A and B are shown apart, each in its own frame.
Chain A
Amino acid sequence: MLSLLPESLRHDRRLVWATYAGLALLLCLLPFLVDAGMGRTWVRILDFALLYVMLALGLNIVVGFAGLLDLGYVAFYAVGAYLYAILASPHFGLHLPFWVLLPLGAAIAGLFGMLLGAPTLRLRGDYLAIVTLGFGEIIRIFLNNLNAPVNITNGPQGINLIDPIQVAGLPLSKGLDLGILTLSGVHAHYYLFLTLTLLTIFIALRLQDSRIGRAWVAIREDEVAAVAMGINTRNIKLLAFAMGAMFGGVGGGLFSAFQGFVSPESFTLMESIMILSMVVLGGMGHIPGVILGAVALTLLPELLRYIGPLQQSLFGRVAVDPSDLRMLLFGMGLVLVMLFRPEGLWPSPKRARELHPDSPDVSRQEQEDLYDASR
């Protein structure tokens, strides 16, 4: 977990723990602060931000660690979401408990990850991207059309009235009465999502610093050299697809239970690209960066909704339709980040060195060299 902190902070143990304690306190109080300051809607947005952190961390395993450009990641999110929707809603009259369906969703999505991975093992870069994109679309189109002859997914109408998450026999969406204080539904979900997000971060960090994580990066760096070192690239790539997909499947199950409704519309290519943008914009392969990217890209479009009221107060009228301006500004933001920080907002120190050879580290060393030479 230490690697989440900037290098300069790591030296003083007490400072490290103080930072963690502060961060923990902030994360605990956040929904209340946000609720008080910005309203309930924003707590809901916060919940979604956590959901996207999980998804982005999953995709980061495939794209960031193993270097496999996956444009169909949303398929696994859809698999998790629909699995929960089908097995816990009046659609089939099945009401399996959330705590059974969550691991099941992860497992099934992982299986789909391998199914997708298997035929793409020989592909790289652009070709892999196209095949995965196709896979994502296939899943969405299946969901859209599997309402006949047997109605499995209820087609474009989607599945409604999905069971909420139950805690101690009570639905989480109705809130949680803890005796001293009562949590609203969105607050309660925040804490559940936060716990699962922390678990996801933990798993991602542990995998990164392991033999498996090194093998993923080795494949990204040079597949031929990796295989010559005895790495079974087929298995290691399938493992990356499966692990990434599992995170997606968990995210899907949470989404389904949180929303109470799923339809194929939620799982478009745009969604895949959004998650990929979070990974790339945050800092590919760098877990803190990916978290930042996911949070930033969830909050930014929402913040841009204030463009309308802002115009009102600045110019006294709404000059440009805010919904037009919103995505324009969002897109412009992405372009600017990629132009000025191609390595992402918070890249790993290694990757920052790669794209900015004139960073302080290197130039300081050069100066030292010069100094040596002048003596």
Chain B
Amino acid sequence: MTPAAELLLEGREVTKTFGGLAALSDVSLTIRRGEIYGLIGPNGAGKTSLFNCLTGLYRPDGGEFLLEGKSLAGLKPHAVANRGIARTFQNIRLFANMTALENVMVGRHARSRTGVLGAILRTPGARAEEAAIREHAQRLLAYVGLERQSGSLAKELPYGDQRRLEIARALATEPKLLALDEPAAGMNATETAAMRALMTRIRDDGVTLLLIEHDVALVMGLCDRVAVLDYGRKIAEGTPAEVQGNPAVIEAYLGAGMAA
């Protein structure tokens, strides 16, 4: 990553409070195009709240996000997805009773336009679009290694496959930024390695990644830059090596006594 790399996402003093509790206070961060940006922090540090503010599920009480210099403030979640931010969820949220293929096809919704009349009359345009949606979805399933499971219901898939299906579905929206909420949670070493390879490949194919992860080894090995949240504040940002040596980070993770 050269320092001059283009800015993709900028968070400016994002604040979110629930009652008196500040889930996020004045969090600012910058993500450059083509990097893998890690977001770490102890439980309850505000990582998922940040994701929710970013994707429009929460409305921040202060501050804003800008994607390619354009503000995302006030946009509904579907509009944020249209702008080019896709996400996965910490507790996998697939369309359980749809097949793997259908799940990914739903992801193409924002990038297709057939309306009611087109659907009923099945115009040549609608037909072509439907075929393109299906073909694109099949390609993405193959991309994450699920081509053989395309006809299985999402809920019948093993846990690791569900994680990968969620990523395929998010990729179907053609995101510029893919936000992954703990993609390797609950995975064994082999599965984690495969997930890591997948994330690297996604990045190499031109999608910027924002990643919440608890597996420190994974974050340190994979991310270009890392931000650390603690009690809703950003306490450190930098390359994994820089962050690892930061006393504030050690204190947040291990308690005050260890930092000395």
Contacts and interface: CB of A to CB of B under 8 A. Distances in A.
B55 A228 contact: yes
Interface stretch (B5-13, B74-82, B186-194): B74-82
A215 interface: yes
Contacts of B55: 228
B95 A212 contact: no
Nearest to A348: B97
B94 A225 contact: yes
B239 interface: no
Contacts of A351: 97
A232 B78 contact: yes
B120 A203 contact: yes
B259 interface: no
Interface in A210-242: 210-215, 217-218, 221-222, 224-233, 239
B133 to A, nearest CB: 7
Contacts of A350: 97, 99, 153
B122 interface: yes
B173 interface: yes
Interface stretch (B101-109, B138-146, B227-235): B101-109
Interface stretch (B59-67, B85-93, B209-217, B250-258): B85-93
B93 to A, nearest CB: 4
A71 interface: no
B120 A214 contact: no
A228 B120 contact: no
B119 A222 contact: no
B110 A230 contact: yes
B197 interface: no
Contact of B93 (A207, A210, A224, A231): A224
B260 to A, nearest CB: 43
A93 to B, nearest CB: 36
B130 interface: yes
A175 to B, nearest CB: 33
A229 B97 contact: no
B110 to A, nearest CB: 3
A201 B116 CA distance: 15
A58 to B, nearest CB: 14
Given A213-B119, A230-B173, A239-B116, A221 B133 contact: no
B110 A221 contact: no
B96 A221 contact: yes
A206 B110 contact: no
A368 interface: no
A211 B172 CA distance: 14
Contacts of B118: 210
A217 B173 CA distance: 18
Contacts of A230: 78, 81-82, 107, 109-111, 173
A225 B89 contact: yes
Contacts of B108: 211
Contact of A229 (B57, B109, B153): B109
B89 A211 contact: no
A222 B97 contact: no
A202, A225, A243: which has the most chain B beta carbons within 10 Å?
A225
A343 to B, nearest CB: 11
B246 interface: no
Contacts of B93: 222, 224-225, 228
B221 interface: no
Nearest to B109: A231
A226, A229, A243: which has the most chain B beta carbons within 10 Å?
A229
B184 to A, nearest CB: 20
B120 A227 contact: no
A206 B123 CA distance: 11
B169 interface: yes
A354 interface: yes
A215 B170 CA distance: 15
B115 interface: yes
A10 B109 CA distance: 29
A218 B76 contact: no
Contacts of A341: none
Given A210-B130, A222-B94, A231 B89 contact: no
B71 interface: no
A353 interface: yes
A207 B120 contact: yes
Given A206-B120, A207-B116, A207-B119, A229 B76 contact: no
B47 to A, nearest CB: 17
B86, B93, B106: which has the most chain A beta carbons within 10 Å?
B106
Contacts of B120: 202-203, 206-207
13 contacts: A202-B120, A206-B120, A206-B122, A211-B114, A212-B114, A212-B115, A212-B119, A217-B97, A225-B95, A228-B81, A230-B82, A230-B111, A243-B116
Interface of B: 55, 57, 76-78, 81-82, 86-87, 89, 93-99, 102, 105-112, 114-116, 118-122, 126, 129-130, 133, 153, 169-170, 172-173
